[in-house]
Amino acid sequence: MKQMSLLVCILLLAGCKHSNSFILNADVKGLTSDSVLALFEFPEYRIDTIVAEDGKFTYEFPLDTLTLFTLRLDEVAVPVYAEKGGNVKLRGTKENVVMEGEGDNARMNEIMQLERACSIDLTMADSLIRAYPNSYTNLYVIRQALANGDTLDYACANNILQQMGGNLKDLVEVMRIQNVMDKHVGSSAYHLANNLLMKGRDNVNVSYADIKNRYVLLSFWATWDAASCAAQDSLVGVVNTLKKKPFVAISVSLDYDCDKWYKASNRDTTQWRQVCDGKGFENELVKALDIRKLPANVLLDPRRMLMGRDLKEGEIVKLIEGMSK
């Protein structure tokens, strides 16, 4: 009887452990890298590395609340929504990933299949979000709609945001997007490339048009802020490590005195540009990205999609090396 009771306890404990964990099993053909990055953004930002063998891997972790993360399968991004006791399977090829799961993961699979036929624009985003206003996949949908195309109807995008459920409006990234909408509603169209149009050391404008197909690190600093100056010094190692990668760092100075900035800034290279417009925190790019303190940085992928904020040097290198193998 005692042995039976012990066995029951062991089984119950094992079951409890499993019920508090999320499990993802993958068998994806065509991966060129044996490292898969998991980029967590809710409830916290962090990065994890998963070792894959011929595209196969199992990823399991305990969790207390809904967790949002994105898997980077080479250059392909796959959003995943993890819940207690959840189980997701990925199969197919990296160009045609099929996600098997429940709830938002099932919906994400539908969205990925839809996206292979046509890009998500604001009209499609409006339809998708209205159909399931409380779905966490709406964060992915609105991001894709904002990234597709060089012009954006801010009033339309703002109306779409209002259709989201309250559970989504409390997410940090949704609040940041809303902040941008609030600043630009009233403009019928806005060229996204103009968010980065500032004069460099050579007095020539630097814009997104000059850095197509690259990962971009926007590093915000000022000569009057010691911590951000130190962060600029640490970028030397990052740029040197990634010199053979499709990567560029742009140091955006929030100095009001451009002469001080010019004397303190490093010379431009093909992988490290320096810009300043003398507007400080009133700079349009700073306001659009909701930068409120220094030092700060934002990492964007070649489509200008957010990959991370306020990343450490090692995290930046890890992300770029993992994406560009």
193 pLDDT exceeds 50? no
pLDDT the model gives residue 20: 85
Residue type, 179: N
Q: Of 49, 46, 77, nearest to 63 (Cα)?
A: 46
Q: pLDDT tens digit string along 130-172?
A: 999 999 999 999 988 887 765 667 778 888 888 999 889 878 7
* Residue 139 contacts residue 168 (beta carbons within 8 Å): yes
Strands 21-29 and 87-93: parallel
Token pair listed for 191: 């060229």
> Could you report how far apart the first and last alpha carbons of the chain are, in Å?
58
pLDDT the model gives residue 69: 95
pTM of the predicted protein model: 0.67
Rounded to whole angstroms, how far apart are CA atoms 267 and 274?
8
| Mean pLDDT score of the chain | 84
Q: pLDDT tens digit string along 197-210?
A: 677 887 777 777 67
41 pLDDT exceeds 80? yes
Q: What is the mean pLDDT of residues 35-62?
A: 91
Token pair listed for 196: 């980065």
Rounded to whole angstroms, how far apart are CA atoms 79 and 115?
13
317 pLDDT exceeds 80? yes
2 pLDDT exceeds 70? no
* Residue 268 contacts residue 201 (beta carbons within 8 Å): yes
> Which residues are 248's β-sheet partners?
216
pLDDT confidence tier of residue 113, bands split at 50, 70 and 90 = very high
pLDDT the model gives residue 295: 93
Q: What is the mean pLDDT of residues 172-186?
A: 74
Residue showing tokens 């998500």 = 120
Token pair listed for 114: 């839809």
Count Cβ atoms within 10 A of the Cβ of residue 137 and give its class: 0-12 exposed, 13-18 middle, 19 or more buried: buried
For the CA atoms of 26, 30, 36, 38, the dihedral, rounded to the nearest 10 degrees, stands at: -60
For the CA atoms of 203, 305, 271, 320, the dihedral, rounded to the nearest 10 degrees, stands at: 170
